[in-house]
Amino acid sequence: MAEVLDLKAIHGEDVLSSEITFTSGRDAKYFIQDYCFNKNKSMRLRVGKKSGNSKTFVCTCPTCEWKVIATKCKRKNEEEHFYFSTIHDVHSEGCTSTRKASERQLSLLTYNPREHSILLPTATKKVRRENVVDMIVKTLAEDGIEYRKMSVKAIQAYFQQKHGLPVSAHNVTRAKEILKSSMFVKDDQSLAGQGMEPPILQMQHLQYPDIQLLVGKNKQVAQLLMDAVQHGDISALRTLLHSTKVDLEAIDSFGCTALIIATATKLLNVVNCLLDFGAKTEAMNPQGLTPLWIAVQMDQLHIAKCLLDHRANIEATDEHSRTPLLFAAQQGNLKMVKFLIKRKANIEASDDDDNTALLLAIQYQHRDVIDFLIKKGANTAVRNIDGMTAIGLANAGASLEIVHLVAHPSPVPSAVTETFTLLSVVSYYFQNSIISREQGLLFAIVGISSLLPVLVCGGAKLRDTYKSSKETTALKRNDESWQQWQGQCILTRISMYFYLSHFLTSWSDRMWQFALPLLTAQLFPSTLLPVVLFPLSTYSTLIIAMPLLGKFVDCTDRWVVIRTGVLSLLITVLLSSASFVALQNVLGTQPWLEYFFLICTCLFAAIGQTFSNLLTLSIEKDWVIELAGISHKPLEVWNTTIRQIDLVARLVAPMTFMMLRGLDSDFKVPILFWVGLITLWHILLTPLMYTTLLDIYIFCPSLEDKPKSKPTVELSRSYFSLWKQYINHPTFLISISFCMLYMTVIRDGGPITSAYFTMRGISSTNIGIILGMSAAMGFLGTMLFPYLLKHLRSVEKVGTITIWVYFFTLLPSVIFVFWPESTAAVQILVFSIIASRITLWLTDLAQTQLMQQWVFVDQRGTINALQHTANKLCYLFILLLEAIFSDPKQFPLLVGVSLAATLIAATGFTRWYYQHI
């Protein structure tokens, strides 16, 4: 008990009848941990239901009776304390407990490599082996190793070669941090040559004054406080602050307070402890630097955060009127600059020479800091004392990249305009007259391409004017030739306007749906989440919304449907663009904001795709039938031209975007510019799309005369009744059979198919050739459809024949199912994919015309919308199988499933043909 009684002197007046008191249970635990640590024994804390009022410390050996009980109670005229009422410091015979240092004790060893702490007994001294970190530090210092140029693995190998002992990477990293913390003088070799030890090793010989001095004079207490802070002895520091009245603002011989010393020595736990006890963050060292300034100067982000959490002045300046932000920008410390800006530091603060953070970053050529400050709205027009602006300082530097960055900043600096993507991008670039040559070229391409459809419309107008004049001239002459011009004065415009509006819709849809996921994926280079979210959100939205939109088409005037689709598509594109801009601006701040705006971007894109499908549903399944009647042009010609337009837009729109992206390979046009460019393109094309469809509606009176179905009041009843109506319709069997054709991996452009071909050694160039050949074969199939229908004279017969031919062109792929390792089998699979595109598009055109002819006008929207939904369900099913059987060795199984689905589809089509024809 003698050694324990010696420790009671630490607490002075708190010693009551051989009992030790502590103000908190944590301090009591620390006391016992340190005591057990010195006894070379391990201890554990037992806590029960009342662990807040009583704590029992027992030996880890199950047969040992060592036990200490700390009870929380309040005595007369005293505050609540923890009292050690029973102390058994004698371990039983046969105790197998061994010392296990706590995390706190390990940190004490790291920061305070002395043999004793002021809380530990001084009676028993044991020889301990030298700390591994200290051995690494000593080795590097004595041998004069240039550790800054050596990697961690190199230091590990050197240490093991010299001492024959392995050392962990963690200990090497800690040793390098100690060497970097200026504990050594610059020339450690000279000190070693003079027989002197580096300061970190001299510290081992330091001893605190006798512990009784704690109750001595205040000056001595202040000195002990400084010693505890310098050596990072958190236990001693807490004891001093709890037990005595210490002036935390007292200064040492160098004029520094305890908080400044703790900040300069990079001791976060000491800084936090001092701040908790009321240390002032406004204290200054002789150079006029506050603790926050010192933390920024020494790149201690966590200490700076702790100081700001305790209301440190973020605008404190040094003798040159530099704020911490200015210093961080000057040093190129991007992480600290981001942190200070996030904590509301004044981005326009300036020093004695009127240099802002941006100007200092430009002077010292820190590109990443310049980019970040410009994104956060730093003023590029401000001038320093020499009259130099940001662009002037950039031109005076040696980096052309920084000149381009300052002259053509990627973000839009206004917080208000960030909400409106098109206005923010276009107005900012034009108002500031900093459009680069490449960006100007891109704007020119967009502008000229938007004018081309206008010229086409003008040509159609001139053609119809010519026909009208011919009809008028023949009538005036009473010539019978007027009959050949009768009714021809609007046909050119009807067909040209229709094809042009459909091309604009397909082009905008393909361009946006290709560009937006690609640009979003560039914001998240380390994850494929955006690539997964876009199709998932799109298909989920279509499956839910399309049946209801089909009912909307049947119950609403044709022009109201088109107007709703065109305007809603434009609005969703703008909202999706705004979400993308917000997503880019919240990157690196808070994860939940990133995911929120990512989901918003995907959701608005999915809704836009739904309205695009609404336009397709109304035009391809309804309008084209009425236009074929008024134009006396066969329906198969209209359908063939529509499908050819789809194929061209599907191939050319992504290719055009990638070609435009290739123009800025050397100039790094920002992502926000591309989003604004595609949005601008869509806005320029929308009025032309709107007016051409309006003219068609006016030219064709039959479009105004439409029988409407009665809407259902209850949504749930309406939704299920629509599916029942679809299943009971005569075309259900051919519709669902056609949908099953999409339940296949034997297709061009499929992600898993392209990935498998890549794994089998087919280059990206060859895969691109396969896609091009497949598109060409599909286009050839659309050209053959009118001739095939002319000879067979029945679209039902064309559909039945072509679907079986499609199956037989895929049938050679069965060789791949049984012999997947064969190179010839892979080549057969590729040939089947290319050859089958002809019959696939022939089947598609036949099935489309069948649905147009067999569905009544008041059911066109509902039946075709539900077929579209069933199509997406089949596609999702094959995607699910791809996810389950994702092993490349299982790809032949997916090919087998695809062949089975195609066979079922052909059988269903044939059964329908014999039932109804």
List, for residues 232-252, the tens digit of each pLDDT value: 777 777 777 776 677 788 887
Higher pLDDT, 176 or 128: 176
Higher pLDDT, 900 or 5: 900
Is residue 260, in this structure, part of any structural domain at all? no
Q: Looking at the structure, do residues 649 and 741 belong to the same domain, yes or no?
A: no
Tokens representing 33? 């941990």
State the Cα–Cα distance between residues 581 and 589, nearest whole angstrom: 14
Q: Looking at the structure, do residues 665 and 791 belong to the same domain, yes or no?
A: no
Q: Residue 232 to residues 117, 181, 207, 831, 851: CA-CA distances in angstroms?
A: 11, 14, 14, 74, 82
Is residue 824, in this structure, part of any structural domain at all? yes
| pLDDT attached to residue 5 | 31
pLDDT per residue as tens digits for the range 367-423 = 888 888 888 888 888 888 877 888 878 877 767 678 777 776 654 333 333 333 344
State the Cα–Cα distance between residues 555 and 858, nearest whole angstrom: 8
Tokens representing 699? 């030219």
| pLDDT attached to residue 658 | 77
Q: Is the dihedral of CA 455, 458, 464, 468 positive or negative?
A: negative
| CATH classification of the domain holding 608 | 1.20.1250
pLDDT at 429 over 50: no
- Last-in-domain residue among 187, 205, 223: 205
Q: Looking at the structure, do residues 754 and 700 belong to the same domain, yes or no?
A: no
Is residue 556, in this structure, part of any structural domain at all? yes
State the Cα–Cα distance between residues 520 and 602, nearest whole angstrom: 10
State the Cα–Cα distance between residues 505 and 523, nearest whole angstrom: 28
Is residue 552, in this structure, part of any structural domain at all? yes
pLDDT per residue as tens digits for the range 669-682 = 677 778 888 888 88
* Angle subtended at Cα 779 by Cα 778 and Cα 784, rounded to the nearest 5 degrees: 95
Reduce the DSSP state of residue 430 to 3 states and report it.
helix
Q: Looking at the structure, do residues 771 and 812 belong to the same domain, yes or no?
A: yes
State the Cα–Cα distance between residues 701 and 708, nearest whole angstrom: 16
- Last-in-domain residue among 683, 711, 739: 711
Q: Looking at the structure, do residues 649 and 738 belong to the same domain, yes or no?
A: no
Backbone conformation region of residue 457, classed left if phi is above 0, alpha if psi is from -120 to 50, else beta: alpha
Q: Looking at the structure, do residues 782 and 888 belong to the same domain, yes or no?
A: yes
| pLDDT attached to residue 898 | 92
| CATH classification of the domain holding 889 | 1.20.1250.20
pLDDT per residue as tens digits for the range 540-575 = 888 888 888 888 888 888 899 999 999 999 999 999
- Last-in-domain residue among 205, 232, 249: 205
pLDDT at 349 over 80: yes
Of residues 881, 849, 837, the one with CA closest to residue 741: 837
Q: Looking at the structure, do residues 742 and 682 belong to the same domain, yes or no?
A: no
**Model confidence pTM above 0.75:** no
Higher pLDDT, 192 or 880: 880
Is residue 792, in this structure, part of any structural domain at all? yes
Q: Looking at the structure, do residues 78 and 159 belong to the same domain, yes or no?
A: no
**Are 534 and 602 a contacting pair, CB within 8 Å?**
yes
Segment 837-861 shows an average pLDDT of 89
Is residue 324, in this structure, part of any structural domain at all? no
- 177-202 burial, b for 16+ CB within 10 Å, e for fewer? ebbeeebbeeebeebbeeeebbebbe
Q: Looking at the structure, do residues 539 and 651 belong to the same domain, yes or no?
A: yes
pLDDT at 905 over 90: yes
Taking the CB of residue 635, how many other CB atoms lie within 10 A of it? 18
Q: Looking at the structure, do residues 522 and 640 belong to the same domain, yes or no?
A: yes
Is residue 345, in this structure, part of any structural domain at all? no
Mean pLDDT of the chain: 75
Q: Looking at the structure, do residues 73 and 186 belong to the same domain, yes or no?
A: no
State the Cα–Cα distance between residues 314 and 346, nearest whole angstrom: 9
Domain residues for the domain of 809 are 728-917
Is residue 216, in this structure, part of any structural domain at all? no
Q: Residue type for 811, please?
A: L
| pLDDT attached to residue 912 | 92
Segment 717-724 shows an average pLDDT of 79
Q: Looking at the structure, do residues 812 and 673 belong to the same domain, yes or no?
A: no
pLDDT per residue as tens digits for the range 605-627 = 889 989 998 998 898 888 888 88
How many Cα atoms within 13 Å fall on the side-chain side of residue 162?
15
Higher pLDDT, 471 or 600: 600
The total domain count for the chain is: 4
